[in-house]
Structure 1
Amino acid sequence: MLTTKKMKHDRTRHAKTGMFTMAAAMKKKLVAGLILLAFLVTGTGSSLFWVQGSVFAAVGETSSQAAEPDAAPADLNDPAAVAAFIDKVMKSNMNTFKIPGAVISIVKDGKLLFTQGYGHSNIEEGSPIDPETSLFRIASTTKLFTWTAVMQLVEQGKIDLDTDINSYLKTVKIPDTYEQPITMRHLLTHTAGFEEGGVGYQITTDPKKLPVSISETLDKHMLARVRPPGEIVSYSNYGAALAGLIVEEVSGLPFDDYIQKHIFDPLDMKYATVQEPVPASLEPYSVLGYASKNDSFVNEPPTFEGGFRPAGSGSVSAIDMAHFMIAHLNKGSYKNKQILNPETAKLMHSTAFQLHKQLPGMALGFYELNMNGQRVISHGGADTLFNTQLYLVPDKQIGIFVSYSGGEGGGAAENLAKAFFDHYFPAPEIQIPPLPSNIAETLQKYAGSYKFTRRNFSDIDKFFSFMVEMKVTISDDQLSIGEGEERMLFALIEPNLFQQVGGPHQLGFRTNASGEITQMGFDFMPDLPLERAKLMDQTKLWFPLLGAAVVLFISVLIGFAIRIRTVNKMDGPQKRAVWLSVATAGWVLLTCILTVTLLMNMDTLERLSSTSTSVNIYLIMPIIFLGLTVALLVSAIMAWKDKYWTVFMRVYYTLVVLAAIALSLFFYHWNLIGWQFG
């Protein structure tokens, strides 16, 4: 759950004044945890529950690396000093986060300021990382190519940002679930209202399954529309892939060819591709991805996006990404080649959607960040082996691209960004205004449980968001997330806006027409807001029910073992009723054990790449349990009708039936009855 130790560590700069030093250290951990959470989830498309373990595992390490802001900013116009500083941070991160290979490029004022490779592209062969030629998988950072392609077609008049996307789609049609259609602006800002999905089909490691048609993939795995478009951000790989399909069908060029011809070629990006697998001519330059096992690095097969490639198939070198960053910072131009008109580039970089007017929001394809008072537009990406982050600071003409092949790359990327902005743009001092007199009453409406908008509702994917919720409570006239020393505190600074106590971040809320709180979001992850959770989606409902049910079923088995001779002497109907309760108890306990050991322990790659035989067999079990529950209910009715046993035993039997019904509702609500794959 999102209220675990490591989560709070990163946001916990919120202790009171007397505990500021301790709070400052804990704050870094919690902020890092949530940033890494956003970072990894955005990149892989996987459920928050699936990746939270790996995210939080890196949090404790992250906190010790980022230095406190300098008293005065360092000089970015001194290339030698910049190189020395970045080199020191990168090498430290490589060691701390156990990373086998990394690369970075930094641009300023239209020029390459610094670039360097670290570690190896192939450990076995000892091949060093070359920032000019080494191809890193950049996962969701690929979306920036897709969004740039969309904006090229917008400025050509071939796409209108506010027209129904169905008017551009030829092979796939989006259902008219809501009166308001989905537009390209909605896709660019991730406000189209799609649910999340991906179990069994999001990625593959088998190159023999490639190439895959984008249109066929999107049609086969169409996601439900669960919110009206334009209402709230819900980061969507499906929406990005749809945008790529529109580029393909409007331009008349295959997606891969369009990106090559209209972005890579003009920008002289010779070591860049969105093809899967990479073309034979570039294959020798591909950086291998490594997993950490038993204190050593093990090469793992790369993952492929297939039909979702507009959302994450890119492989690019650091210097080529420098060309791309320069073009975006230089009004769409690189070495006299214009990939976007200045007006289009400005529009693309401008705020297009905000949860709260004071918080960073979504630009057209980029998400905004406030880093030590600097407006940053950014995008990251992560798959099971690579982590990437790109930051642009338009007002300062600065761009940073960093990518890691294995290890805790998400923690390293967050740490690098913090170190860079603390060094060159020290954070301003933050003052929290006095609290109003009626603050305790005011805060009540914000308390509760929240879930990320990016989740599934229709398929088995929904189950993996079961334990992913964020609890907001009230403590000392402040909002608190977490418990004990891990908690993060936020003080009210204006209606629906809170400032982190002892830290730089802000938390905002949105209300409905009745003034009720409906959504909340952090300033450092505008692409991953949360919404107030319904009771049926909260662990506070299910945990007591599940716990009570399990205790009852265990008592059934224990009681049967103790009284087996008495049971065997009962009349036929009574004996069958007892045996039915025993069979139901044993079956459901086995089902619960497999739910935890099989489903919850599946790794990200396994969940997203296939539906295993074991999972398909497991899904028979809730169906059989549902049948047993119905039989148990009928048996309970007969027990009362024919007055089996004592009244006490009949009441006990009825409680067992209610426990079975509760567990049946759990399996039903979390889409574990039947084979509900997207």
Structure 2
Amino acid sequence: MSSSMRKISCKMMLLVLLIVSMGAGLFAAQAPVSAALPDSTTVQHEGKPDLTDTVGLTAFIDGIMKGHIDNFKIPGAVVTIVKGDKILLAKGYGHSDIEAGKLVDPETSLFRIASTTKLFTWTAVMQLVEQGKIDLDTDINTYLKTVKIPKTYSDPITMRHLMTHTAGFEEGGVGYQITTDPKKLPVSISETLAKHMPARVRPAGEMASYSNYGASLAGLIVEEVSGIPYDDYIQKNIFDPLGMKYASVQEPIPASLEPYTIHGYARENGVFVRKPPTFEGGFRPAGSGSVSALDMSRFMIAHLQDGRYGDKQILKPETVQLMHAPAFVFIKGLPAMDLGFYEQRMNGLRIIAHGGADTLFSTELYLVPEKQIGIFVSYSGGEGGVAADGLARAFFDRYFPAPEIKLPPMSIETDKSLLKYAGAYQFTRRNHSDIDKFFSFLVKMNVEVSGNRLSMGSGAEQQVYAQVGPDLFQEVGSSHQIGFRTDESGKVTHMFLDFLTAIPLERPPLLDKTTFWYPLLGFSLVMFITVLTGFAYRRREIKAMPKAQKWAVRLSVVTAAWALATVAATFFVVLNMDLLDRLSRITQSLNLYLFMPIILVLLTLGMLTFSVLAWKDKYWTVLKRVHFTLVTLSAVVLCVFFYYWNLLGWHFG
């Protein structure tokens, strides 16, 4: 999706990035403003700064970007800011090619914009809507020719659901979301979507859950309704009319644009190392765009000017207004999902935005229709997601400072009415059916109560919220808000972060909670360790046992050792998989690992058999039989864990 998951803190960002974001829609998180802005950007002003003072604006942005390049280890970046139909700033920073010493050029340098590409897809959809070829509220199966969505629920999925991310799809991507091999291109959108169709896990229109698959479906519909391949449609109906000469959704990019490609780099041992580009393949409508900053200015101006750029009209004014208007409201009073754009609030302004990030690039696009302002920023590495949000907030703090907000005074005594909000929450955007599910095991956000405040995180990264309305809280020292949804009985069911419009959080069921699994897993590991230590000290005693008892003990030792090895492999091999490897291929190590839980199940079946025999034939003392039974139950717990989290077998999407 986007790199809009920014307000959670740097450490939480890394956690969420690993699990929630997949392929074209990688999410980042947000660091405190103090971390995002260098001291050098602090400028004293007499009166309110004038945005049309381009000299002052340029100096201000230069200071921020210099700090970002240095502090966040970013090799290259670009920023463009527009107001109305004018470009106020378009500037590149750093290098597009470090080895060749080539600098970033805002006119020609092609930045990978990942999920920001979706704005082209949604704009294409709305062009077909205003032509009467697509109806926002008609079953999408009406338009799909090569792929059909199962009727899992009575109500169909519509284009409105795809554009507001409320279609009800689970998330997926392990092994197929992206590729780094250009030899596998081009890839058919329809074949990809047919092969990797995620399950429908919610009725359409009920819940927002950001979906790359849904956006790709919309791109396929554009292709099949218009009769023009997706890449060609975007080129002919958006890029060409707007004069976007340095823009493409084709993969790999056309040979004529290859010299303008920005290379992606990773920081290794203190130096930048060039990494291969990633490709979306059949998911192109969700994130394949490569665009220059000046060309994105043209696109922003068209959206700010009711679909018009110069003498070209890519959308009718009423279509633009419909696209920019709230289309799905999760909690009244907080930002909504528009048709393709997601809303944000900064310093009291309504912003419609979309971002994107992959393993090497981070991008954000912000439009403020009320002020006719557009901002596009893209980074080619480093902590670009954190940097992008820092730039936006610095911009709005300078030119549109937030009104002073009075929060209720802090209380030491615990407000018991707030306790209902405390506890764990998990993102609606996650997997249910495939191995991907396991990667959400550790991704929970915990809300705690202290006095009359709610908090998330700890230490310097803690975010503290004061209540400002029924089920509504505002961050202390910021204008960000969180809201909660309750059921008819008043029980809290969901949490909503105003900077994460497309991904609410919900209370996890018991079996999704780490607080449920940790004690069971911890007890099981202790039991397995006691088996191994006991075997080391009781070898002579075991050797003298009858044959059946001896085999039972040996099986318990093998099972305990195998269980410990499987747990270690799960957390140190599977969870630590490189993100690029995880999303682009099924590695040999993952395939081999998946034999381990299956072998554990077979060993556990043997343990269950011997447990019955131990009580039936009265092996050992009662205490030792109890211990053997507890070890067996521990193995059962581990098998259930692997089964529940889709690690038992090869569950690939």
TM-score norm. by structure 1 comes to 0.92
Partner secondary structure for residue 70 of structure 2: helix
Deviation at 1:493, TM superposition (A): 2.0
| 1:525 to 2:471 alignment | no
- Find the partner of 2:169 among 185, 194, 201: 194
| 1:262 to 2:237 alignment | yes
Q: Quick one: distance in 1 between partners of 2:74 and 2:230?
A: 33
Deviation at 1:646, TM superposition (A): 0.2
Which residues of 2 match residues 67-86 of structure 1 at below 5 A? Answer: 73-86=48-61
Distance 1:40 1:376, change over 3 A: farther
Deviation at 1:335, TM superposition (A): 0.7
Show the counterpart of 1:506: 481
| 1:551 to 2:548 alignment | no
Show the counterpart of 2:80: 105
Indicate if the aligned counterparts of 1:42 and 1:382 stay in contact, CA closer than 8 A: no
Show the counterpart of 1:631: 606
Distance 1:420 1:334, change over 3 A: same
Which residues of 2 match residues 455-534 of structure 1 at below 5 A? Answer: 455-484=430-459, 486-534=461-509
1:4-56 alpha-carbon deviations (Å, 9 max, x no partner)? xxxx9x86xxxxxxxxxxxxxxxxxx4677789888988744898xx88xx68
Indicate if the aligned counterparts of 1:35 and 1:414 stay in contact, CA closer than 8 A: no
Show the counterpart of 1:368: 343
Q: Quick one: distance in 2 between partners of 1:71 and 1:192?
A: 50
Distance 1:574 1:209, change over 3 A: same
Show the counterpart of 1:165: 140
Indicate if the aligned counterparts of 1:32 and 1:414 stay in contact, CA closer than 8 A: no
| 1:88 to 2:63 alignment | yes
Indicate if the aligned counterparts of 1:107 and 1:326 stay in contact, CA closer than 8 A: yes
Which residues of 2 match residues 225-240 of structure 1 at below 5 A? Answer: 225-240=200-215
Deviation at 1:483, TM superposition (A): 3.8
1:479-527 alpha-carbon deviations (Å, 9 max, x no partner)? 2223455432222222211122232111111123333221111111112
Distance 1:41 1:324, change over 3 A: farther
| Higher mean C-alpha deviation, range 372-381 or range 500-509 | 500-509
- Find the partner of 2:276 among 295, 298, 301: 301
Question: Which letter maps to 2:615?
Answer: W
1:355-391 alpha-carbon deviations (Å, 9 max, x no partner)? 2111112111011111111111111010111111101
Indicate if the aligned counterparts of 1:101 and 1:406 stay in contact, CA closer than 8 A: yes
Partner secondary structure for residue 183 of structure 2: helix
1:258-277 alpha-carbon deviations (Å, 9 max, x no partner)? 00000000000000000000
- Find the partner of 1:322 among 261, 276, 297: 297
Distance 1:639 1:70, change over 3 A: farther
Indicate if the aligned counterparts of 2:31 and 2:386 stay in contact, CA closer than 8 A: no
Indicate if the aligned counterparts of 1:381 and 1:389 stay in contact, CA closer than 8 A: yes
Distance 1:628 1:484, change over 3 A: same
Question: Which letter maps to 1:468?
Answer: V
* Structure 1: runs of 5+ lacking an equivalent: 1-7, 12-29
Show the counterpart of 2:188: 213
Indicate if the aligned counterparts of 1:329 and 1:394 stay in contact, CA closer than 8 A: yes
Q: Quick one: distance in 2 between partners of 1:248 and 1:478?
A: 50
Q: Quick one: distance in 2 between partners of 1:667 and 1:39?
A: 23
Show the counterpart of 1:591: 566
Distance 1:190 1:165, change over 3 A: same
Indicate if the aligned counterparts of 2:343 and 2:501 stay in contact, CA closer than 8 A: yes
| 1:674 to 2:611 alignment | no
| Higher mean C-alpha deviation, range 218-227 or range 349-358 | 349-358
Indicate if the aligned counterparts of 1:203 and 1:304 stay in contact, CA closer than 8 A: yes
Q: Quick one: distance in 2 between partners of 1:39 and 1:577?
A: 45
Show the counterpart of 1:408: 383
Deviation at 1:405, TM superposition (A): 0.8
Indicate if the aligned counterparts of 1:509 and 1:521 stay in contact, CA closer than 8 A: yes
Show the counterpart of 2:549: 574
Show the counterpart of 1:62: 36
Indicate if the aligned counterparts of 2:92 and 2:106 stay in contact, CA closer than 8 A: yes
Partner secondary structure for residue 541 of structure 2: helix
Partner secondary structure for residue 667 of structure 1: helix
Distance 1:578 1:33, change over 3 A: closer
Q: Quick one: distance in 2 between partners of 1:32 and 1:105?
A: 26
Q: Quick one: distance in 2 between partners of 1:406 and 1:58?
A: 19
Partner secondary structure for residue 417 of structure 1: helix
Deviation at 1:63, TM superposition (A): 6.6
1:239-260 alpha-carbon deviations (Å, 9 max, x no partner)? 0000000000000000000000
Show the counterpart of 1:600: 575
Indicate if the aligned counterparts of 1:291 and 1:406 stay in contact, CA closer than 8 A: yes
Q: Quick one: distance in 1 between partners of 2:382 and 2:68?
A: 10
Question: Which letter maps to 1:317?
Answer: S
| 1:137 to 2:108 alignment | no
Which residues of 2 match residues 303-452 of structure 1 at below 5 A? Answer: 303-433=278-408, 440-452=415-427
TM-score norm. by structure 2 comes to 0.95
Distance 1:646 1:371, change over 3 A: same
Show the counterpart of 2:99: 124
Partner secondary structure for residue 258 of structure 1: helix
1:332-366 alpha-carbon deviations (Å, 9 max, x no partner)? 00011000000000110111112211111211101
Show the counterpart of 1:24: none
Partner secondary structure for residue 213 of structure 2: helix
1:205-237 alpha-carbon deviations (Å, 9 max, x no partner)? 000000000010001000001111111110000
Indicate if the aligned counterparts of 1:158 and 1:250 stay in contact, CA closer than 8 A: yes
Show the counterpart of 1:564: 539
| 1:288 to 2:263 alignment | yes
* Structure 2: runs of 5+ lacking an equivalent: none
Distance 1:481 1:218, change over 3 A: same
Deviation at 1:316, TM superposition (A): 0.3
| 1:540 to 2:515 alignment | yes
Question: Which letter maps to 2:509?
Answer: K
Distance 1:672 1:292, change over 3 A: same
Partner secondary structure for residue 315 of structure 1: strand
Q: Quick one: distance in 2 between partners of 1:317 and 1:40?
A: 28
Show the counterpart of 1:25: none
Distance 1:56 1:79, change over 3 A: closer
Distance 1:484 1:139, change over 3 A: closer
Indicate if the aligned counterparts of 2:25 and 2:287 stay in contact, CA closer than 8 A: no
Q: Quick one: distance in 1 between partners of 2:555 and 2:472?
A: 56
Partner secondary structure for residue 157 of structure 1: coil
Deviation at 1:153, TM superposition (A): 0.5
Show the counterpart of 1:610: 585
Partner secondary structure for residue 266 of structure 1: helix
Deviation at 1:477, TM superposition (A): 2.3
Deviation at 1:528, TM superposition (A): 2.0
Question: Which letter maps to 2:74?
Answer: I
Q: Quick one: distance in 2 between partners of 1:558 and 1:448?
A: 37
Partner secondary structure for residue 241 of structure 2: coil
Partner secondary structure for residue 242 of structure 2: coil
Distance 1:449 1:189, change over 3 A: same
Question: Which letter maps to 1:450?
Answer: Y
Indicate if the aligned counterparts of 1:636 and 1:654 stay in contact, CA closer than 8 A: yes
1:422-455 alpha-carbon deviations (Å, 9 max, x no partner)? 111111111225799x983422322221001111
| Higher mean C-alpha deviation, range 165-174 or range 524-533 | 524-533
Show the counterpart of 2:218: 243
Q: Quick one: distance in 2 between partners of 1:498 and 1:604?
A: 34
Partner secondary structure for residue 415 of structure 2: helix
Question: Which letter maps to 1:312?
Answer: G
Distance 1:39 1:375, change over 3 A: farther
